[in-house]
Amino acid sequence: MHNHYLPEPYSPIPFALPAMNLVATSGAPANDIATNEVTATLIDLLTGNYITNATIDFNVTGDALFEGNRQSTTSAMTNNNGVASVWLTSTQVETVTVVATYDSVRQQAYISFTEVPVTYPILLERSSAPALADFDDTIYLTGRLAYNGQPAPNDDYAWIYFTDPIGATASTVVRVIGNSGEFSYAMHRYIPGTYLAEVEWRVNEAVTLRSNILPVEFLARHSNQPYRIDFFRNDEVELPNIRTVYLTMALRYAGNNAIIPNQTLEITRIYPEPGFFATVPTGPDGSGIYVFPPDFLLYASFRVTWVENPTISAIYFLWTYDVQP
C-alpha cells in the first residue's frame, strides 16, 4: 500500500506587514483659516523600516474640510520617514472623526474646532479688582486708542459707558494723555455690585470703534450700623438727549432688610456748591423719590441723611447727562 501525501498549501512570505500610527492636533478656532494637523506614519513590522511613497487615504466627518482640495476626502503620500500629513479647517464648533486608510490598515482620530476668540479694536482693562464701594477706593480703567496702527493724538477723547448693578446707565469722557493713545480713568463707586464698562471711540464720521465689555466689582464695606439707606435710579430719556432722573431712597434695617416707614431724608450737596439741597419724606413702604430735572448739572455728589437719626447717612454720586460733544 502506498501512502500519498498532499503538499501543504503554499504560504508566501508577505512583502510587508504595514502598521500605522495616527496623531492629530486639536482645538483650532472654527474660523475657516486655522488648521488642525493630522499625521500618519507607516512602518513595516517585518523589517522595522518606514514605508515610503505610499498613498494614504483620509476622510473626515462633520463640516470640516481638508485644506487644499476643500473636500471631506483627500490623500497624501508618505515621505522618506513614512510620514503623510494633511490639514483640516472648519467654520463650525464641532468634534469630528478623521479616518486614515492604507490597504487593510485603518486608524482614526478625534479632533475639535473651538469658538473663535473675539478680538476688540480697543482692549479695556482694570488695574485691580474688586474695590470697596466707599467712594474712596479706586479702580483704574486703562486702554489704548489706535486705528490703522496710528495712536490717537494727545487730548483726543472717547466715551466710557457704565451700567450699574440695578441697570441704570451713565457715561463720561476719557481723554488721551501723550502721544501713545493711552488713557486712564479712576473709577469710584458707593453702591456695591458689579458694574459693566465699555469704551466707544469715534475715529471719524465713518468709523466708530468699541471695546470689550469689562465687569468691574465693588464690594460693600461691612458696617456695624443697624440701618442703611438704599438708592434706586430710574431714567426717563426723551430725544434728543434729554434725561430726567428719578432717584428712589429707601430706609431699611440692615440685618433683615425690613422697611422703616414714614421718616424724613435730607439731601445735602457735597459737590459742587456744598449745602442743603432738598428734603424727601418717605412713605409707608419706607421709600421716597426725588426727581432731578433734565437741565440739572452734568454730575454731582450728595449725602443723604436720616433726619430722625442723623448718625445714619449715605453718599450718592449722580450722572445726569447723555449729551455727547
- Contacts of residue 97, defined as CB under 8 A and 6 or more positions apart, other chains included, come to 60, 61, 62, 108, 109, 110
Report the pLDDT value the prediction gives residue 116, as an integer from 0 to 100: 81
Q: Residue 246, Cα to own-chain centre: how many angstroms?
A: 31
Report the pLDDT value the prediction gives residue 11, as an integer from 0 to 100: 39
**From the CB of residue 314, how many other CB atoms can be counted at a distance below 10 Å?**
19
As a whole number of angstroms, the distance between CA 174 and CA 162 comes to 13
Report the pLDDT value the prediction gives residue 293, as an integer from 0 to 100: 72
Cell output for 107 = 486608524
Long-range contacts of 117-121 (CB under 8 A, 24+ apart): 117/29, 118/212, 120/210, 120/211, 120/212, 121/146, 121/147, 121/209, 121/210, 121/211
Structural domains in the chain, sorted by start: 18-114 (2.60.40.10), 125-219 (2.60.40.10), 227-319 (2.60.40.1930)
Strand partners, 109: 98
- Residue pLDDT tens, the chain, 325 long: 555 554 444 334 456 789 999 999 999 999 888 999 999 999 999 888 999 999 999 999 999 999 989 999 999 999 999 999 999 999 999 999 999 999 999 999 999 999 887 667 888 888 766 677 766 678 889 999 998 888 999 989 999 999 988 787 888 899 998 889 999 998 888 777 889 999 999 998 888 999 999 999 887 765 556 788 888 877 766 655 566 778 888 888 876 778 889 999 999 888 777 888 889 999 988 889 988 776 665 667 788 889 988 888 887 777 654 444 3
User: Across the chain, how many H-helices and E-strands are there?
Assistant: 0, 27
- Give the DSSP letter string of 61-114: -TT-EETTT-SSEEEEE--TTSEEEEEEE-SS-EEEEEEEEETTEEEEEEEEEE
Report the pLDDT value the prediction gives residue 319, as an integer from 0 to 100: 63
Report the pLDDT value the prediction gives residue 94, as an integer from 0 to 100: 95
pTM: 0.44
Report the pLDDT value the prediction gives residue 78, as an integer from 0 to 100: 94
As a whole number of angstroms, the distance between CA 319 and CA 300 comes to 7
Report the pLDDT value the prediction gives residue 93, as an integer from 0 to 100: 94
